[in-house]
């Protein structure tokens, strides 16, 4: 099938490359000319495991092209995905200006019947707005579908190739048949392709992200209580995760959720609730708890320094909002680094993939280490924010030797507290007892 994917970001690029991989003739479009020029040379704008070989192979085979010409891409395609960003507006609602701008362009270039699919995360009613915007420019018949994306950054290719499920909101049997054909290679093992009406599909995406964010904030608050009462959240997590009604995924406490999705989607859903006078106080609490959680590692550090962080040198491992991505949008690491800088500390940072994206926020105010251990020499403490694999089994004697003071504050519970204490560290993690060398 001839497919256009408009918006070549974390979602659009993965969708385009994966659809090309299954034999479709795909053109990815973006208004960012520099990004498109790089992609045409097989230089990827993002770090995403497994994506580069797909882009290289499919571009070489002629199944994947990149362009800035939205109109031409629409004209040559039977299926058009809208995968542009939907950032939060000032009031927290999803800003639809990019989505509707694309819809307008699609309408101006719609001279033959097409299926237009909203892939961006958009509030209920957006597909209808897209339909109205397109229809304002053309009399040619077309279909609009909602096909929210559930991929996770860091595992996006795997998630798209082997989805738990594909959700599609359709307005006609013809559109359903086309989507069924497009997704057939991805649901061969029986993972469901779930058809529904369009508003339900749009709602499903927000409900999924809100549920996941809720689990995270819930576990973060349980972790806080575990620390206060002397329980161990790792054991509590196992204890509840084995209950099949609860399940074990997404129960890890941490430094707060970040990324481009949970924060903005929770906010947008709260906003929709307010507009419709439907109380969503659960989500307001989830958001407030997360904002507090993002400062937790800073507060822990401040306690260890008796409130005097001025002049202290703090090493931070991990800037990305989670491992296996270079995305720092809403990353707790940025909150922690900013708080440390405001408190007068000096900060040295390391991240295997996200230094360049973080540099756009932090500029020259921190020192960037090329290797993880380079951040440590002479530092007064190490804070771990992202759960990168390379931080999981480090050389502890080397860390101890490099740090001026053997203090590790760990937002990801990567290490065994007893072991760290036996190695001479003070080790402060989330929801577990403080481990001290002397204890
Ligand atoms: N990132 C994720 O993990 C994820 C997962 C599921 C869903 N989503 C949703 O998918 C959508 C895209 O997210 P993303 O992370 O890929 O965003 P992104 O910011 O990485 O990419 C968006 C791209 O759209 C381009 N763009 C903006 N306006 C355009 C226009 N008029 N024409 C062509 N291109 C245009 C931008 O230049 C940018 O490259 C959002 O609605 C997001 O909520 C994201």
Is it the case that residue 96 has pLDDT exceeding 60?
yes
Name 427's bridge partners: 408, 435
Is it the case that residue 439 has pLDDT exceeding 60?
no
Q: Which atom of ligand 1 is the closest one to the Cα of 148?
A: 7
- Ligand 1: centre distance to CA 8 (Å): 7
Determine the average pLDDT of the residues in 354-383. Answer: 97
Q: What is the pLDDT of residues 128-178, one digit of tens each?
A: 999 999 999 999 999 999 999 999 999 999 999 999 999 999 989 999 999
Is it the case that residue 362 has pLDDT exceeding 90?
yes
> Between residues 171 and 306, which one has the greater pLDDT?
306
pLDDT score for 98:
97
Q: Ligand 1 pocket, 261 CB below 6 A?
A: yes
Q: Assign 438 a pLDDT band (cuts: 50, 70, 90).
A: low
- Alpha carbon 112 to its chain centroid, in Å, reads 36
Q: Ligand 1 pocket, 263 CB below 6 A?
A: no
Is it the case that residue 202 has pLDDT exceeding 70?
yes
pTM of the model: 0.95
- For the chain, what percent of residues have pLDDT higher than 70? 100
- Ligand 1: centre distance to CA 13 (Å): 9
Is it the case that residue 370 has pLDDT exceeding 70?
yes
Is it the case that residue 78 has pLDDT exceeding 60?
yes
Q: Ligand 1 pocket, 32 CB below 6 A?
A: yes
Determine the average pLDDT of the residues in 176-193. Answer: 95
Q: Ligand 1 pocket, 357 CB below 6 A?
A: no
- Ligand 1: centre distance to CA 120 (Å): 7
Query: 193-196 and 313-317 as β-strands: parallel, antiparallel, unpaired?
Result: unpaired
Q: Ligand 1 pocket, 296 CB below 6 A?
A: no
Q: Which atom of ligand 1 is the closest one to the Cα of 122?
A: 41
Q: Which atom of ligand 1 is the closest one to the Cα of 327?
A: 1
- Best substitution site from 260, 262, 267, 320 to test ligand 1's pocket, by max atoms within 8 Å of Cβ? 260
Residues 347, 336 contacting (CB under 8 angstroms): no
Q: 């074990």: which residue's tokens?
A: 248
Q: What is the pLDDT of residues 223-245, one digit of tens each?
A: 999 999 999 999 999 999 999 99
- Ligand 1: centre distance to CA 80 (Å): 15
- Ligand 1: centre distance to CA 388 (Å): 25
- For the chain, what percent of residues have pLDDT higher than 90? 97
- Three-state SS across the chain? CEEEEECCCHHHHHHHHHHHHCCCEEEEECCCHHHHHHHHCCCCCCCCCCHHHHHHHHHHCCCEEEECCHHHHHHCCCEEEECCCCCECCCCCECCHHHHHHHHHHHHCCCCCEEEEECCCCCCCHHHHHHHHHHCCCCCCEEEEECCCCCCCCCHHHHHHCCCCEEEECCCHHHHHHHHHHHHHHCCCCCCEEEECHHHHHHHHHHHHHHHHHHHHHHHHHHHHHHHHCCCHHHHHHHHHCCCCCCCCCCCCCCCCCCCCHHHHHHHHHHHHHHCCCCCHHHHHHHHHHHHHCCHHHHHHHHHCCCCCCCCEEEEECCCCCCCCCCCCCCHHHHHHHHHHHCCCEEEEECCCCHHHHHHHHHHHCEECCCHHHHCCCCCEEEECCCCHHHCCCCHHHHHHHCCCCEEEECCCCCCHHHHHHCCCEEECCCCCCECCCC
* Cα-based distances in Å from 326 to 13, 61, 387: 15, 28, 13
Average pLDDT over the chain reads: 97
Is it the case that residue 97 has pLDDT exceeding 70?
yes
Is it the case that residue 388 has pLDDT exceeding 90?
yes
Is it the case that residue 30 has pLDDT exceeding 60?
yes
- Ligand 1: centre distance to CA 104 (Å): 17
- Best substitution site from 4, 5, 8, 9 to test ligand 1's pocket, by max atoms within 8 Å of Cβ? 9
Identify whether 436 is a catalytic site residue.
no
Q: Which atom of ligand 1 is the closest one to the Cα of 35?
A: 39
Q: Assign 437 a pLDDT band (cuts: 50, 70, 90).
A: confident
Q: Ligand 1 pocket, 394 CB below 6 A?
A: no
Phi/psi at 128 (nearest 5 deg)?
-65, -40
């Amino acid at each position: 099938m001839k497919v256009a994917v408009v918006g070549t970001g974390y979602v659009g690029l993965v969708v385009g490359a994966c659809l090309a991989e299954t034999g479709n003739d795909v053109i990815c479009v973006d208004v960012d000319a520099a990004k498109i020029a790089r992609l045409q040379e097989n230089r990827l704008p993002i770090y995403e495991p497994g994506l580069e070989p797909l882009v290289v192979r499919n571009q070489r085979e002629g199944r994947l092209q990149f362009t800035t010409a939205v109109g031409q891409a629409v004209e040559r395609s039977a299926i058009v995905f809208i995968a542009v960003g939907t950032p939060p507006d000032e009031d927290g609602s999803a800003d639809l200006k990019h989505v509707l701008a694309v819809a307008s362009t699609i309408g101006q270039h719609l001279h033959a019947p097409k299926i237009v699919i909203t892939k961006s995360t958009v509030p209920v009613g957006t597909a209808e707005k897209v339909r109205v915007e397109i229809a304002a420019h053309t009399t040619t018949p077309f279909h609009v579908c909602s096909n929210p994306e559930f991929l996770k950054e860091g595992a996006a290719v795997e998630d798209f190739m082997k989805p738990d499920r594909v959700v599609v909101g359709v307005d006609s049997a013809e559109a359903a048949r086309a989507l069924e054909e497009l997704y057939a290679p991805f649901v061969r093992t029986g993972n469901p392709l779930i058809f529904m009406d369009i508003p339900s599909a749009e709602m499903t995406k927000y409900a999924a992200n809100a549920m996941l964010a809720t689990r995270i904030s819930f576990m973060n608050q349980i972790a806080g209580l575990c620390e206060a009462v002397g329980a161990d959240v790792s054991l509590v997590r196992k204890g509840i995760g084995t209950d099949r009604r609860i399940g074990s995924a997404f129960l890890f406490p941490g430094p707060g959720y970040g990324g481009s999705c949970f924060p903005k989607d929770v906010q947008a859903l709260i906003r929709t609730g307010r507009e419709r006078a439907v109380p969503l106080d659960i989500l307001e609490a989830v958001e407030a708890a997360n904002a507090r959680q993002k400062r937790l590692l800073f507060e822990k550090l401040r306690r260890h320094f008796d409130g005097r962080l001025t002049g202290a040198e703090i090493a931070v491992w991990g800037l990305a909002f989670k491992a296996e991505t270079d995305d720092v949008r809403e990353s707790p690491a940025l909150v922690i680094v900013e708080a440390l800088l405001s408190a007068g500390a000096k900060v040295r940072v390391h991240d295997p993939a996200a230094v360049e994206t973080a540099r756009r926020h932090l500029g020259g105010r921190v020192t960037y280490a090329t290797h993880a251990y380079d951040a440590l020499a002479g530092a007064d403490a190490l804070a771990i924010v992202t759960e990168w694999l390379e931080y999981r089994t480090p050389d502890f004697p080397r860390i101890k030797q490099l740090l001026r003071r053997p203090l590790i504050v760990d937002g990801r519970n990567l290490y065994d507290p007893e072991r760290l204490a036996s190695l001479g560290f003070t080790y402060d993690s989330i929801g577990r007892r403080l481990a001290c060398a002397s204890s």
